[in-house]
Amino acid sequence: MDSVQLVAKKRRPVGHRMIKFPGGAEKYPGEPPALIANREVCEETSLAYLVGEEVWSAKSNDHTKYGYMVYFEDCSGEIRTWDIPDGDEMLEPPRWVRARDLKGKIFEGGELFYESVCRRLKVF
């Protein structure tokens, strides 16, 4: 299967660049992880999606990280084409990239989610 994943490239103030998946934390008390994922995708890409499948999670001392897989055909809207601020950094416009082309290029902390999705999609 030749699959793609949406990524947003984050520009670091010192010129360092990394590839990341849309993500974030609870903004409202009790906000469910699936709604957080949908909100973050919308904020970072300008896209919305109907269905996201939880395919990965990892617990740490103080919280749990979740990873959702969304199919292109379940997305709606027009993808963002301009830079946006993200804290003290800037996010470049997101783009679609073949999953196999991301190997070794994902931001620190996103590798396990990426590998889980690739195994599920039989990318490698």
The CATH code of domain 4-121 reads 3.90.79.10
Residue 38 pLDDT:
93
Spatial CA neighbour of 74 closest among 109, 39, 55, 50: 50
Average pLDDT, the chain: 84
> Contact 99/120 with Cβ under 8 angstroms?
no
Residue-wise pLDDT tens digits, 13-22: 555 667 788 8
The full length of the chain comes to 124
